[in-house]
A and B are shown apart, each in its own frame.
Chain A
């Protein structure tokens, strides 16, 4: 049995033995053993295959990885990555065992809780709103509890907390971070939970929030879906049209071939993004239109490579032999030419997905193509660009995501090219 150590030596018999071994093992083992042959290129393909698998998983079940849905407003606006939101929090005296606003509810006729707030800050409004909604909810419950706090306003934070310390108030509602700064001066006070019930977001957001308070990380994960949908569908459509056209043109090589080639070459030379801009501008924004526009761009890529290979293979002796034995054109195409074309098509397909994702992102960055409600990296980048001076995280992460996905697919293509292109392989 040949071990990796054996093969690194340059002795011929050993090299021969693991090559022979390739013949009688299964596909998975064969792929693993070929690692010894291809070296770093194999790793290129392997690593990118793992990345691609990961992204596909993300795209299929984004909900399992993203903490929030992409379109919900989950927190304050422009919150930096991992920064804690400054939520209004309930603070009570050390003897009280209340932790939530709801715990302060009393029976009718009992003493109404007095809650201190700072004058002129949003906490007061939040408290009012929250207390009312809790009260509404309590009305429907049988215990008969009600929450009707007496709200006392103060001018400074110190005065508020001092009043609570002195027992003049039942509780206060203040900004969490502000309270934590001065908490040491008021040892008798205890921090409860945020009054708005956003305990889940109290720890902050991994990649921050955007200009309307959506979670950047969740949008990133959900964005995988649309990127891969566009990449795969556009490439498949282009492949389904480009490959048969290329086979046909290469095999027939008549005037139709010349005309088709002229059109395809013109399209190939033209900047794809600009053509896509024109098509989406006319078709209007929708996912389907973006796919159509991008697919049209990449038909020539398949066409050119397939046609070229068909032309080359057509001249091979075995094709002549088959023809002289009476094989029909369809059979020659299917049995002799098509299998020769597949490896190049596989490489192009992989690189093509990468290209299509980039083009799609470019289109949506320009504000074309996708409807603005979709969670898409290009759209997120365009939104973030306006806030480049303040919110670096809004433009950094979506671009990183695009890069990683495109990298996975193009690395796969790059590795496959080296593996499949015998011209470049040294003996």
Chain B
């Protein structure tokens, strides 16, 4: 079995994490070790359940993938041949076994439509694009969310608090694709300052060497400043769209947690000692309040990815989300199934990482 480019990405990201994990595991206490082991063991069923869910949704629900992929041109013989090729005539349990094997070996087969390229190759181009969008967006959301939330909590029941709460509710109610469209309208169409679609200018893009497929990093590595500028500019609107939408949830969560921490005895004690309110909020309360927020980051991955699908569609950003939508329009069930499985894997890994970090930060959960 040769290593696919896509698996390579996972290895590149996963290797440092794995080394860190081993280090923590070796150096940590017995409780920590047990916790990490349990958590890893619990991650496997999660991926398994989600992958199976996807598999059965795709099989059990009515609709034949092959005849819809071939369209009206597909003769019964053609449909039969493709079905046999894909092994769709085998018993369900055999198909399921094969599907699980494919998931484990990262070999998703070829796309049913459009060039019939190996799905893994296509995803290895698309996945870095999604990462390039998702990572800065999360950072932006965390910055706005944590400071906004702490600020609101510090001014509880004052105008600022209600304003920030209103912000989080309004942001929560904004359809992300509409926010994207409005930003495009303002900065792209009216002010002409930012590009509204794609990842990089077509002309500049040809001069870029693709190493990681994360364009801004590729440009940095090769010292191609033109490309870096172009990639950066293209990144602004999608990142802001996704980041703003996510920030609402973080404002809300941080606010609630800081308020709860504020009611604990050690804050009262600190206050009695005459520590200034500002220090109280931003150092004493915020640190402890961040612990539950970290776990919730894990759950926000869901919002992040769902948001990424819509953001990518609006900004014609060639990531995993727009790939999913393209493949669904093309009725390519093999590809759809693979993309969703990768999403599931991604979610599971992030929540595993978050839980391990949580256990490091807050010793209480290990026991």
Interface residues of A (CB under 8 A from B): 39-40, 262-263, 265-275, 277-279, 281-284, 354, 358, 361-362, 365-368, 378, 381, 384-385, 388-389, 392, 395-396, 398-400, 402-404, 406-407, 410-411, 414, 423-424, 426
Contacts and interface: CB of A to CB of B under 8 A. Distances in A.
B178 A271 contact: no
A414 B331 CA distance: 40
Given A262-B49, A403-B178, A271 B336 contact: no
A407 B178 CA distance: 14
A115 B351 CA distance: 76
Nearest to A276: B306
A37 to B, nearest CB: 13
Contacts of B172: 354, 406, 410
A391 to B, nearest CB: 10
Given A266-B46, A423-B260, A403 B173 contact: yes
A400 B185 CA distance: 14
30 contacts: A267-B50, A269-B351, A270-B50, A271-B302, A271-B305, A271-B306, A272-B306, A273-B306, A274-B306, A274-B340, A277-B324, A278-B54, A278-B58, A278-B340, A279-B61, A365-B313, A367-B329, A368-B328, A381-B181, A388-B196, A392-B185, A395-B178, A403-B170, A406-B175, A407-B169, A407-B170, A410-B173, A411-B169, A414-B169, A426-B156
A265 B188 CA distance: 41
Interface in B301-331: 301-306, 309-310, 313-314, 324-325, 328-329, 331
9 residue pairs, one from A and one from B, having the closest CB atoms: A399-B178, A273-B306, A406-B173, A271-B306, A407-B173, A282-B61, A271-B305, A266-B49, A271-B302
B53 A267 contact: yes
B325 A366 contact: yes
A19 B179 CA distance: 44
A399 B182 contact: yes
Nearest to A390: B189
B76 interface: no
Q: Is the interface of B mostly helix, strand, loop or mixed?
A: helix
Interface in B165-185: 165, 169-170, 172-179, 181-182, 184-185
Given A354-B173, A414-B169, A424-B259, A271 B303 contact: yes
A354 B175 CA distance: 11
Contacts of B169: 407, 410-411, 414
A269 B189 CA distance: 37
Contacts of A385: 181, 314
A366 B302 contact: no
B173 A424 contact: no
Contacts of B256: 424
Contacts of B179: 399
B279 interface: no
Nearest to B314: A385
Nearest to A400: B178
B9 interface: no
Contacts of B301: 269, 271
A46 to B, nearest CB: 15
B114 interface: no
B66 to A, nearest CB: 13
Interface in B228-259: 256, 259
Contacts of B303: 271
Given A267-B53, A269-B351, A410-B172, A395 B181 contact: yes
Contacts of A388: 181, 184-185, 188-189, 196
B187 to A, nearest CB: 12
A362 B312 CA distance: 12
A366 B310 contact: yes
Nearest to A409: B173
Interface in B44-72: 45-46, 49-50, 53-54, 57-58, 61-63
A352 B158 CA distance: 28
Nearest to A289: B61
A269 B347 contact: yes
B266 interface: no
Given A269-B298, A368-B328, A40 B162 contact: yes
